[in-house]
Structure 1
Amino acid sequence: MDSRTVALIRTTFKAVAAEEGGPEKLARSFYAILFTDYPQVRDFFPASMDAQRDRLVKAIVYTLDRLEEPDKLLPFLAQLGRDHRKYGVQPAHYVAVATSLKSAVKVFAGTEMWTDEVDRAWDEGLTIIGDTMIGAAEKEMTPAVWHGTVVERRDVLRNLAVIRLQLDQPMRYAAGQYLSVQVPARPRMWRYLSPAVPANANGEIEFHVRGVLGGWVSPAIIARTAVGEQWQLSSPLGGLGIPRNTKRKMLMIGCGTGIAPLRAQLMAMAQRRTNPRTHLFVGGHHPCDLYDLETLSRLAVSNKWLTVTPVTETDENPWWYPGSGEPGAALPGLEQRVTGQIGKVVAGFGPWSDRDVQIVGAPSMVQTTKFRLMAAGTQTKNIRHDPLF
């Protein structure tokens, strides 16, 4: 797409989003048009649409922000296309979605803004998106869905569990990627999770799941998951990872279960002959939130290129925590725990101008940490994180 086409698409969408409640109204209008004109697609979506509408708007914003960066956008869209095979979607469904989205935007933009040139711009943009996703899905030879049996469930905190599954066949993914899962308790509600271990030929996989207050899927996983339960898993997504033979030093920052994709990468790196210097900051609100320090301790002890600094916002554990003492106290290989907000702590260690940076955690934590690093002198191009939706 040329710059004129990109500008027309962005300007139109921004005009819609600028209205009070604009993004939510647009999402509601889109799904109303889609389900009215193409009622057969309703079965692809969950009964509750609140989270789905929010995810749609964030996905649109993410895509529009990268229209002039095809080297970043097209691989992302190709991954989405491969992932959407789990729904059983066909090329006609992409046409239905594109037509409905354009109709919804057109309604809110109004006749004065929606010129023939704007109409053609949206057609071009939506065609590129749809064709990229369709093409990637049609070329993919891996399964649309893997099936996994829960073989172990370990409660770490009252709202955090480690779930291990045995897949029906091995899945190839890069350490640091994420994928979506569907559990029996929440049909048609797919939740993104990051494997906490590298891919292996035995089809064994591990997830760290924390119940999100007000969420639909993660609380159900914490409350109901039992050994023997069958999960469905989709194709891997995401671009985090450390290339072999890289000479750039690494800075990794993870909070809560955000440690999972970082831990998987460190485990994969530990199997290599050489690695760049890597500094991991692992954070949590309370000391007990640093639930995986024993694993990180073993990695740090056996791999001298790795430095691990624990960070917590408070020195006290919550009243409900049954343990005594501080988790990870006196574990070898770990730096002394630092108290403070993780973004501020990491930025205070230096500008990290010689590092490639990965940030994993809640969207608010990722954004805050990213802004603090940028303010301290870290270049934006060196900071990576997964899409925040």
Structure 2
Amino acid sequence: MRFRIKRSGGTPANPYPQDPAPAPAPAPASAVRPSPPEPADPPLSPHETALIRASVAVVEPLAADMTVYFYAILFARYPEVRPMFPPGMDAQRGRLLRSLLHIVDLVDDPENLVRFCGHLGRDHRKFGALRAHFPAVGECLLAALARYAGPAWTADIAAAWTKAYGAVADVMIDAAEQDAAVRPAVWPATVVRLVPHGHGIAEVTVRPHMPYEYAAGQFVSIETPWHPKQWRYYSPANAPREDGTLTFHVRAVPGGSVSTALVHRAAVGDVLRLGPPMGDMVLDAAVSDDLVCVAGGTGLAPIRAIVEEVARRDGRHQVQLFLGARTGAELYGVDDMLRLAQRHHWLTFRGAVSHEYIPGIRGSLPQVLAEYGPWYQHDVYLSGPAPMVVSAMETLTLGGTSPDRIHHDPFDTPVLATP
């Protein structure tokens, strides 16, 4: 398995009585997203890299059980860390597994390894992670790996994992401590507007209590007061506004406690918490003035924010926007996009449905992209369900689009992709 970086009643006045102390004065925008130093060489030798990847191949069939064991011994040996985690650990165990495998995938790619681990370090601040916690995690991680690798675990493999974990921990700690110097770990934000769209989708607009700087196209983790320690990731559907508000498009996922609460339980005046902005699917990543933006479902949110950002920059880009859904009823946001296209000559909008015969374009988004392409001279921004993004990437690359010009954020979880 390989993973890629590039990518859903009243409240008490203070639902978070243990919020951290007020943050220092806001730093300039240039200081808000510090870049950790990048090592000149991979942290491991080729032999050490081979040892680690060989050990992962041994434990991967048992990876789910290994993560259960890891958290069991972590909480048994260091019970003081248990309150940092949600009561239900299924999602957390999955994140650990994906991040671990992704780090292994990047051990010989120092630039992306530092970027990935820097994101993790900054994002883990919201859980209360401190420098002192990292040795405990490393100890238990190696114990879990040794148990499930069995006879394949050797002293050389243990030494390679110790070295790799030390390098990863150093990057995460440095990134977190640099981040702590310029901004808070979390931002309380009051719900100021709710707009239902049907089919379990709602627009949720919040106003952070402190300045919140982000770039159009990034994504944000959200925690609700009803499910503490459970964070889910959504993209603002707007470029930064003067009033500081952010609007999220949220679909209530069956069994999804956070998404269901945001769509069906949240009310104006409720206070949520936001984690730091993340993601590299931003306008400045483009090398061309010709853009193709492709959105499926609530993937419209970051695409809409990018289109707004183009408008803020006086329309210096030509944008082809494709919006897709299974049926016409699910094709939400069409009227908004049509108004934008009428207002801006540089924006061309097309909507398509894949499972219903109605007037207009019919087909999946990858099929429509192939029909209207090729797009090898464009930068392409993709957002939506993971299968759609993967299929669209295949269509684009077959049509001659360089992978370096295809921008998407992680699938489902931050900074992690599972094609």
Name the TM-score, length of structure 1 as normaliser. Answer: 0.89
In structure 2, the residue matched to 1:329 is none
State the distance in 2 between where 1:170 and 1:201 align: 11
AA matched with 2:176:
A
Matched, 1:93 2:133: yes
Helix, strand or coil at the partner of 2:356: coil
CA shift at 1:82, angstroms? Answer: 1.5
State the distance in 2 between where 1:109 and 1:379 align: 39
Gaps of 5+ in 2: 1-42, 414-419
Counterpart contact for 2:289–2:316, Cα < 8 Å: no
CA shift at 1:246, angstroms? Answer: 4.1
State the distance in 1 between where 2:67 and 2:391 align: 27
CA shift at 1:385, angstroms? Answer: 1.8
In structure 2, the residue matched to 1:206 is 247
In structure 1, the residue matched to 2:308 is 267
CA shift at 1:42, angstroms? Answer: 1.1
- The share of aligned pairs that are identical, in percent, is 36
In structure 1, the residue matched to 2:88 is 48
Counterpart contact for 1:146–1:233, Cα < 8 Å: yes
CA shift at 1:80, angstroms? Answer: 2.0
AA matched with 2:328:
P
Matched, 1:289 2:312: no
For 1:95-244, what aligned pairs fall within 5 Å after superposition?
A: 95-111=135-151, 113-140=152-179, 141-243=182-284
State the distance in 1 between where 2:252 and 2:406 align: 28
User: Alpha carbons of 1:167 and 1:285: their partners in 2 closer, same or farther (altered >3 Å)?
Assistant: same
RMSD between superposed Cα atoms in Å: 2.0
In structure 1, the residue matched to 2:121 is 81
Matched, 1:358 2:391: no
Deviations 1:298-326 (A, max 9, x none): 2222322222221211236xxxxxxxxx8
In structure 2, the residue matched to 1:369 is 392
In structure 2, the residue matched to 1:10 is 53
State the distance in 2 between where 1:274 and 1:220 align: 37
AA matched with 1:309:
R
Deviations 1:325-367 (A, max 9, x none): x8xxxxxxxxx84211222222333342212222211222222
State the distance in 1 between where 2:107 and 2:316 align: 34
Name the TM-score, length of structure 2 as normaliser. Answer: 0.83
Counterpart contact for 1:343–1:369, Cα < 8 Å: yes
User: Alpha carbons of 1:47 and 1:277: their partners in 2 closer, same or farther (altered >3 Å)?
Assistant: same
Deviations 1:122-168 (A, max 9, x none): 11211121111111111111111101111111111140100111110
User: Alpha carbons of 1:126 and 1:165: their partners in 2 closer, same or farther (altered >3 Å)?
Assistant: same
CA shift at 1:188, angstroms? Answer: 1.0
Counterpart contact for 2:287–2:379, Cα < 8 Å: no
Counterpart contact for 2:365–2:392, Cα < 8 Å: yes
Counterpart contact for 2:286–2:405, Cα < 8 Å: no
In structure 2, the residue matched to 1:322 is none
User: Alpha carbons of 1:349 and 1:65: their partners in 2 closer, same or farther (altered >3 Å)?
Assistant: farther
In structure 2, the residue matched to 1:384 is 407
Counterpart contact for 2:373–2:399, Cα < 8 Å: yes
